[in-house]
Amino acid sequence: MGRVTVRRPVLHIKAGEPRRRPDTLAAEEPLEIRVASRPLSVTMRTPGSDVELAHGFLLTEGVITGRDEVAAARFCDSPGPDGRNTYNVLDVALAPGVEPPDPSIERNFYTTSSCGVCGKAALDSVRLRTRHSPAEDPLRLRADVLAELPGKLRAAQRVFDSTGGLHAAGLFDADGSLLAVREDVGRHNAVDKVLGWALMEGRTPLTGGVLMVSGRASFELVQKAAMAGVPMLAAVSAPSSLAVDLAEEQGMTLVGFLRGQSMNVYTGTQRVVTEIS
């Protein structure tokens, strides 16, 4: 798995008995995203799918709307203490005619693995308006199909099995089939990676798609889903009040506490089909 995981020695204590053994950790390293050689963002992420991460980030921040707006993405030389390239700096070249990010916008793009929206200058700066509004999306999904998604997502989390320390984001179609899954120490990075995959595959806007996340549903994850045209966001844990407000504003279906056959549908209830619908 390369730098996706790291082995470290630990003192393991069980039933009072100490034992030294190796443990597998999820790797966490900084990734600097540049546009036309100009630094735009630094995010703490699990290495892997970095080009997808950059595409997803630029999509969800409103810099690009389609894969044709990126001409190239390449890693820059960023040597570590051993002199080898760390592959922690990625430079994106936009296609001719695509406007670069406005440097006059006061926005701090430094993010951490726990909160991608930390450091934003103001709430208005993250309430981005999508060009792929999900409001009119005709998606309808049976509740029993929706209830199966957490198990399918968990079964596809390969790195989680060895580390127990990664978030996951998966894209599903209306039949509940898994299209793609990505893992990362940051929930927002996992979402950017899987949405970046969709962008690069020419699948955006994600009409008729479901984005499933392994943790809670924050404001920023709703924003990212809306920017990709996702009509339904489902989470195994709780949404925030602002996430519910934004989902309602965008015409998105937001599902939380999706565990077993139980779930809360906070907005867009018309898209979830039940026996009494």
For the annotated catalytic residues, the residue numbers are 115
Q: Which residue has the tokens 């916008």?
A: 105
Alpha-carbon distance 94 to 75, whole Å?
15
Alpha-carbon distance 169 to 187, whole Å?
8
Alpha-carbon distance 255 to 234, whole Å?
5
Instruction: Write out the chain in H/E/C secondary structure.
Output: CHHHEEEEEEEEEECCEEEEEEEEEECCEEEEEEECCEEEEEEEECCCCHHHHHHHHHHHCCCCCCHHHEEEEEECCCECCCCCECCCEEEEEECCCCCCCCCCCCCCCECCCCCCCCCCCCHHHCCCCCCCCCCCCCCCEEHHHHHCHHHHHHHCCHHHHHHCCCEEEEEECCCCCEEEEEEECCHHHHHHHHHHHHHHCCCCCCCCCEEEECCCECHHHHHHHHHCCCCEEEECCCECHHHHHHHHHHCCEEEEEEECCEEEEEECHHHEECCCC
Structure tokens at 243: 């996430």
Would you give the distance in Å from CA 177 to the centre of its chain? 19
